[in-house]
């Protein structure tokens, strides 16, 4: 079956090939990424529809809920077939919108085991360190990730919200397959990290991918392009990310079936060189 997602191309990490436009599950739990979904049946329907539309890379974390997003993914999609699930550990929760880094090796191992159980798998496709805990020696955190990889509990390792120096330190201890940092049209503070990932063949997962700031305001560049192309602001933001780099793996998230379909259609949008140049040079 041909789907818009096919136009996004693919990326391969540790022998695992996925379409570059994925889905992020952060919006499935309750407000503040805390507590149960307001509509669990809809959440399950969104996940299943994403796969029907061609999505085969789904990002989640043990702290989304906590555990709610992983539970919904298992309910909706297990057994996963060709769909790859990327989860994270390293942030614990203290209530809605409250996040605390915890990088003690014994905690990270515990959370890996819990994710294995919740997702109902023998090995995690991609296990990401959600944050590097400044209170714990980084080498201990990366060393635990290396142990999990060697033991076969995880198939690939990723990092989140890191700079180039941290990636290089980690790579001295364990193979890093992906990096997940905040990056979008209006926030490009991770440009150096993206460039590094591109040079090194590391997947770059931009979280909060559709943010566009003042560019989307009436009269802004993105708004003008939306009128010119007939695409939505979100679609243009995603299309720009996909065109920006071949290692880019956007994971737009939504709890809406309508917005899900809209996001997936972004994979088939072909921006002209002039449009790409304008967006790349824009300051939000």
Percent of the chain with pLDDT over 70: 99
**How many domains does the chain divide into?**
1
Give me the pLDDT at residue 283, please: 72
Closest C-alpha to 71, from 84, 87, 82, 49: 87
Question: Mean pLDDT across the stretch 264-276?
Answer: 96
More confident position, 136 or 3 = 136
Q: How confident is the model at residue 100 (pLDDT cuts 50, 70, 90)?
A: very high
> pLDDT digit string (tens) for 181-201?
999 999 999 999 999 999 999
* CA–CA gap between residue 120 and residue 80 (Å, rounded): 10
Q: Is the pLDDT of residue 1 over 60?
A: no
Peptide bond into 116 cis (omega under 30): no
pLDDT in tens, 205-259: 999 999 888 899 999 999 999 999 999 999 999 999 999 999 999 999 999 999 9
pLDDT digits (tens, 9 = 90+) for 58-89: 999 999 999 999 999 999 999 999 999 999 99
183 a catalytic residue = no
Q: What is the CATH number of the domain that holds 95?
A: 3.20.20.100
pLDDT of residue 211: 83
Angle between helices 273-281 and 221-229 (to 10 degrees): 160
Q: Mean pLDDT in the chain?
A: 96
**What tens digit of pLDDT does each residue of 28-57 get?**
999 999 999 999 999 999 999 999 999 999
**Which whole number is the average pLDDT over 260-281?**
95
Q: Does the bond joining 75 to the residue before it have cis omega, within 30 degrees of 0?
A: no
Higher pLDDT, 2 or 171: 171
Range of the domain at 198: 4-281
- pLDDT (tens digit, 9 = 90+) per residue, 112-123? 999 999 999 999
**Which of 23, 64, 183, 196 is labelled catalytic?**
64
- Local confidence band at 284 (pLDDT 50, 70, 90 cut-offs): low
Residue 282: per-residue pLDDT: 86
pLDDT at 2 exceeding the cut of 80: no
**Segment 155-169 mean pLDDT:** 98
């Amino acid at each position: 079956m041909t789907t818009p997602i096919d136009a996004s191309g693919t990326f391969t990490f540790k022998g695992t090939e996925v379409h570059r436009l994925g889905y992020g599950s952060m919006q499935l739990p309750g407000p503040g990424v805390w507590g149960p979904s307001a509509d669990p049946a809809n959440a399950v329907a969104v996940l299943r529809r994403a796969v029907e539309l061609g999505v085969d890379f789904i990002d989640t974390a043990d702290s989304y809920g906590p555990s709610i997003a992983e539970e919904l993914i298992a309910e909706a999609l297990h057994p996963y077939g060709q769909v790859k699930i990327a989860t994270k550990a390293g942030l614990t929760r203290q209530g809605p919108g409250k996040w605390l880094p915890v990088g003690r090796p014994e905690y990270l191992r515990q959370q890996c085991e819990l994710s294995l159980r919740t997702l109902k798998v023998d090995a995690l496709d991609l296990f990401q360190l959600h944050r590097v805990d400044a209170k714990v020696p980084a080498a201990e955190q990366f060393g635990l990730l290396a142990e999990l990889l060697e033991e076969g509990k995880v198939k690939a390792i990723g990092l989140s919200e890191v700079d180039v120096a941290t990636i290089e330190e980690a790579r001295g201890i364990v193979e890093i397959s992906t990096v997940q940092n905040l990056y979008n049209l209006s926030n490009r503070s991770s440009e150096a990290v993206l460039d590094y990932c591109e040079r090194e063949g590391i997947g770059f997962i931009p979280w909060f991918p559709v943010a566009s700031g003042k560019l989307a305001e009436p009269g802004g560049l993105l708004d003008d392009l939306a009128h010119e192309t007939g695409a939505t602001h979100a679609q243009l933001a995603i299309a720009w990310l996909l065109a920006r780099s071949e290692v880019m793996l956007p994971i737009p998230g939504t709890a809406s079936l309508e917005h899900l379909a809209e996001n997936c259609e972004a994979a088939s949008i072909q921006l002209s060189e002039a449009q790409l140049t304008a967006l790349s040079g824009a300051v939000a």
